[in-house]
Amino acid sequence: MRKNRIEKKNGQQEMVGFVLIVVIVVIALMVFLVISVRQGSGDERQSLEVENLLNVIMRTTTECAPIFEPQYDTFEDLFKSCYGGEECSNLGQESCDYLNESLRNVVRDLLESEATVSAYQIDVFQKDDEGSQGILNIFEGNCTGTVSGAQRNLVVSGESLLVRMKLCAE
């Protein structure tokens, strides 16, 4: 009789241990599921490739010379000129208009060889204590895949500008 009680207690302990293991596995699966759903919900991933592409674009020299002709702006300078409301004196065109047009052409040319990129978006915001104000928004293509992005901060006359680039890969 005593032996049966000991065997029953051992059996109960094994059952409790088994239930605990099942509960731990279920909790681990739920955590994994929550993490995978968050990543797959279209959230943007930070990408070194997109960051490098954005840096190349920012250092590219344009045909806009706001002050005098041999001193051409890079795209980084052109973003600042656009924010400051300057004009490309050698082209007789507003810097924002030229930025919009030339940036589209440069990005299109750079991404032409990237067959996996189906869309891109470039946003420029002024950031301050009250939030952010959109300055420029360029979007081309149809995004149906994974979004990767990068951003870069610029300082213009004490103001903070944020240039954000997103690429959509199929």
Quote the pLDDT of residue 59: 93
The pLDDT score that the predictor gives to residue 2 is 57
Q: Hey, what are 23's tokens?
A: 């509960």
CATH topology of domain 45-169: Ribosomal protein S3 C-terminal domain (3.30.1140)
Within the chain, strands assigned E span 45-46, 87-88, 93-94, 117-128, 131-141, 146-156, 159-169
Rg (C-alpha) for the chain, rounded Å, is: 28
Quote the pTM value: 0.66
How high is the pLDDT of residue 55? 92
Specify the pLDDT at position 15.
83
What pLDDT is attached to residue 40? 46
Tokens of 103: 């940036």
Give residue 36's pLDDT: 65
11/60 Cα distance (integer angstroms): 74
What is the structure's pLDDT at 132? 72
pLDDT for residue 144: 83
Give whole-number Cα distances, 120 to 78, 147, 149, 161, in Å: 20, 9, 9, 20
Q: Which of 147, 151, 139 is nearest to 51 (CA)?
A: 151
Q: What is the mean pLDDT of each run of 10 residues along the chain (170 residues)?
A: 61 82 88 67 68 91 84 89 89 90 89 81 84 83 88 87 89
- State residue 166's pLDDT score: 92
How far CA 10 is from CA of 1, 3, 14, 22, 94, in Å, comes to 15, 11, 6, 18, 84
